[in-house]
Amino acid sequence: MSPAQPPEIERILFTEGEIAQRIAAVAAEVSERYRGRQLKLIAVLKGSVFFLAALAQRIEVPLKIDFLAISSFASSGKPTGVVRIAKDLDEPIEGEDVLLVEDIVDTGLTARYLLQTLAGRGPNSLAICTLLDRTCRRLVQVPVEFRCFEIPDRFVVGFGLDYRQLYRNLPYIAVMRP
């Protein structure tokens, strides 16, 4: 049984079915790109866990999974780009084909930091796959090779994305009321 739509939700942006359809399509693209190779998915906790699980189940190449957790610091609600790793990878990535799995790429500051940090560890290849891409808020350009949806500049929740740790379990992606 799906959770009821909370009153804080303004509207559903992407339904459960639309999300499943796009993830399947992106998983097919990933599978084609990495055919004949082994892939390591690195998920950024906590938001990307739902996306990671759905994506990994549909990728058709052998894969491993690891996790990072980050803390980013903002002053007066504005992103500063100051990020630190709160939980590092369990295994090295040297010589591996790595796909960084994000719930959302927004300003690009966090994604740029993670790409730079991971690239310094000597992977064979490194790419980003994101559930949501909010290019209208981009402060720094980052290469997003795989994306499910581009979204407007609105605060969204569901399918792993939260508001004060709530609403991650919604099976759809929704816009919060202002």
The C-alpha atoms of residue 26 and residue 85 are separated, in whole angstroms, by 27
Q: 97, 106, 153, 162: which one is catalytic?
A: 106
The C-alpha atoms of residue 122 and residue 94 are separated, in whole angstroms, by 4
Among 107, 113, 112, smallest CA distance to 133 is for 107
How many CB atoms are located within 10 Å of the residue 56 CB? Answer: 17
* Long-range contacts (CB closer than 8 Å, 24 or more residues apart) made by 80-89: 80/109, 81/107, 81/109, 81/112, 81/113, 81/139, 81/140, 83/109, 83/110, 83/113, 83/114, 85/117, 87/45, 89/42
How many CB atoms are located within 10 Å of the residue 31 CB? Answer: 15
Unique residue bearing structure tokens 């630190």: 84
The C-alpha atoms of residue 73 and residue 94 are separated, in whole angstroms, by 29
- Residue 106 known to be catalytic: yes
Q: Which residues are catalytic?
A: 106
